[in-house]
Structure 1
């Protein structure tokens, strides 16, 4: 899927759109108040690329460490996942491919949610 949808340049556009929506959320937006967004966009681009089968990836332990202490709950994760799925659809991903990405993200829920 990574190559099918245009590689890093496409994933980067998806991630920017994703954060445009997520930052406006009353529930999830505050998580990013004091975050270096340039750095976060870079990391998230690599993470989303890995969900699409691209070359970048994070280990389970890295994901757990990155999100430790952030008090992320299932409701936050659900909103983030819904925004990501809609963003992928908005960028021309097929529903079947979005379901694959959502499943790959869901597998990592336990590493992100406390």
Structure 2
């Protein structure tokens, strides 16, 4: 494993818009990682990006957005791209599988 990969925090949190009876989608953080962008490594860029993903009832990412930037565009873009390609376990609403928003914090650390 590349020692420069990442210090990774995958925190799926209920968003402020989540209602009682709603469980957000989750993914396997151990098997879904992003490669550190080369330019970011050279410039010793680090930070945590907070993102939201709209996940379909089949576990595919339909939409994504950066909620809070890491402070570095390359790190933000790499995290969105990598997590968007991951397969999620769908969330539920009132006990039924459903399309839900989920939040993920991704920490880049050297």
Normalised by the size of structure 1, how large is the TM-score?
A: 0.34
Structure whose CA Rg is larger: 2
Greater share of helix: 1
Normalised by the size of structure 2, how large is the TM-score?
A: 0.35
Greater share of strand: 2
